[in-house]
Amino acid sequence: MSSSGVKYLRVVLGDQLSLATPSIRSFERSSDTLFMAEVLEEATYVRHHKKKLALVLSAMRHFAADREADGWTVDYIRLGDSATPNTLTSEIQRAAQRHGCDAIILTMPGEWRLLQAFQAWIPNCGYRVELLQDDRFICSPDEFERWAEGRKQLRMEFFYREMRRKTGLLMQGDTPVGDQWNFDAANRQPPKQGLSPSQPLSFAPDDITRDVIDLINRLFPDHPGHLDPFWFGVTRDQAMQALEQFVSDRLPQFGDFQDAMVSDQHFLFHSILSIYLNIGLLDPLQVCQRVERAYRDGHAPLNAVEGFIRQVIGWREFVRGIYWLKGQTYGNKNFFDHQNPLPHFYWTGETDMACLSACIGQTLDEAYAHHIQRLMITGNFAMLAGVDPFAIHEWYLAVYADAYEWVELPNTLGMSQFADGGVLASKPYAASGNYINRMSDYCGQCRFKVKQKAGPDACPFNYLYWDFISRHREKLEGNPRMGTVYRTWDRMAAERKAEVAADARRFLATTFPR
């Protein structure tokens, strides 16, 4: 019996696979049970990409097996073990009864949907339940709320500086290393010919992973993507190897080419670490400290190291803060009142637009696209084409292996669709074909002509961009960052404006037939 005399059922969810997860931090081998469950509800609340399912389920099984090998009592429910469609709360309830537990300990889940389910179940479950804050982040929701209080605008840059001070990362006393907080301007080089980054470290599936792959192919054949090959790491040890390989091979050029897009280079110099960070196999502060060390050792330049650390302690923490601060209704925001459905080609990649075809095709293959592909290609198109933000949110939540609502929703709804009217971003990330042409090699292979502004052969981004600007003038022209855009629009000849409207009407009518 434990020193407290209490027999606990300690629960770990599929994205809490760390010994630092609060519900298991003080696990007592003599009396406690670790409980984990694969449940149909979690596997199907969106049609998760097959690679995402394989990552989560295999990592869960490995985590449980490692604890068991270390002498813990583990109760693990596999998908298919339960005769009826199961949920986390129903499985936790049954497990507490099975083990004759006195109390249950949970860690806060990463989304409102599950939090609500827990909150509805807890008062009626017949057990004492402790729901602990998930402190595996640098900033807690309470701390973020205090930071946000009284501010007219919430801007990542100022929040990020606080996180730099708090963590001491890239600081010399009170001043930032390099006397500059942000090297964003040095993170935007277009792609050059002949870039040859190393591929992310891949791991051959072991027996556990092969079982999971078979299970997914059997139970979820209609989910997007495929498992051939499946190469993600599924243990902390493998995730640490992936971190080391990124630091040694790609970090030095991460900064320069962060925004570049190349058709046959799906990963460029990116880390491909969000898949591990978001399920707990890596710790964000430890990752940033490792990356900072690469700068201090002279292995990687400041623009790369600062750029990486900004994404993790800046953007990642900032979007999580917004998610919990803005509450459950945040997901319903639709500032532009966009109502078009998601075009079917988002599920196939079959479109003549080479940039969309490349990014969607890569997404379906890898369950991965980097930030600018998500923001400036698939996100930008959805916003310009007036797609319902909730529909595009569900797509992002399904197709990316790193997608959990706390991080995906603010990025999609706030950053990429401006559906929150400017809570997260100071202006819409809208761009014409010119930006895509500058930052990628897509346009050279496209049947549309990026230099052409009007007519059936023109790049659709060109006229959709101006049509979006014109359509939403009332909502956007008061934004100080949009002034130049509206001045340019106002200088355009009436004939040109009519062409924009006609081209957009024709394109949207074909894309969204009524």
Where does this chain bind ligand DLZ (CB under 6 A)? 13-15, 37-39, 42-43, 48, 53, 56, 88, 109-111, 114, 404
Nearest to 127 by CA among 93, 85, 153: 93
Q: CB under 5 to 8 A by kind: which of ligand FAD, ligand DLZ, none does 354 bind?
A: none
Q: Does 273 bind ligand FAD (CB under 6 A)?
A: yes
Closer to ligand FAD at the Cβ: 108 or 425?
A: 425
Q: How far is the CB of 109 from ligand DLZ (least distance, A)?
A: 4
Q: Does 312 bind ligand FAD (CB under 6 A)?
A: yes
**CA–CA separation, 29 vs 317, rounded Å?**
33
- Paired with 128 in beta bridges are 103
Q: How many of the other CB atoms lie within 10 Å of CB of 74?
A: 18
Dihedral in degrees, nearest 10, Cα atoms 18, 120, 409, 363: 60
Q: Does 402 bind ligand FAD (CB under 6 A)?
A: yes
Q: Does 416 bind ligand FAD (CB under 6 A)?
A: yes
Q: Does 407 bind ligand FAD (CB under 6 A)?
A: yes
Q: How far is the CB of 391 from ligand FAD (least distance, A)?
A: 13
Q: How far is the CB of 291 from ligand DLZ (least distance, A)?
A: 25
As to burial, measured by CB atoms within 10 angstroms (0-12 exposed, 13-18 middle, 19+ buried), residue 188 is middle
Q: Write the DSSP symbol of residue 385.
A: T
Q: CB under 5 to 8 A by kind: which of ligand FAD, ligand DLZ, none does 292 bind?
A: none
Q: Does 415 bind ligand FAD (CB under 6 A)?
A: yes
Q: How far is the CB of 151 from ligand DLZ (least distance, A)?
A: 27
Q: Does 319 bind ligand FAD (CB under 6 A)?
A: yes
**CA–CA separation, 23 vs 36, rounded Å?**
12
Tokens encoding 254: 């991460």
Q: Does 308 bind ligand FAD (CB under 6 A)?
A: yes
- Candidates 115-123, 397-405, 460-468, 488-496; binding stretch for ligand FAD (CB under 6 A): 397-405
- In the chain, the N- to C-terminal Cα span, in Å, equals 66
**CA–CA separation, 133 vs 344, rounded Å?**
39
Q: Does 375 bind ligand FAD (CB under 6 A)?
A: yes
- Candidates 86-94, 175-183, 186-194, 267-275; binding stretch for ligand FAD (CB under 6 A): 267-275
Return the amino acid letter for 251: L
Q: How far is the CB of 114 from ligand DLZ (least distance, A)?
A: 5
Residue 61 Cα distances to 37, 45, 83, 166, angstroms? 10, 20, 20, 35
- Paired with 129 in beta bridges are 104
Nearest to 37 by CA among 102, 106, 101: 106
Would you give the binding string for ligand FAD spanning residues 331-370, x where CB under 6 A is met?
Answer: ---------------------------------------x
Contact 314, 156 (CB under 8 A): yes
**CA–CA separation, 348 vs 74, rounded Å?**
41
Q: CB under 5 to 8 A by kind: which of ligand FAD, ligand DLZ, none does 38 bind?
A: ligand DLZ
Q: Which residues bind ligand FAD (CB under 6 A)?
A: 270-274, 277-278, 308, 311-312, 315-316, 319, 370-371, 374-375, 379, 396, 400, 402-403, 407-408, 411-412, 415-416
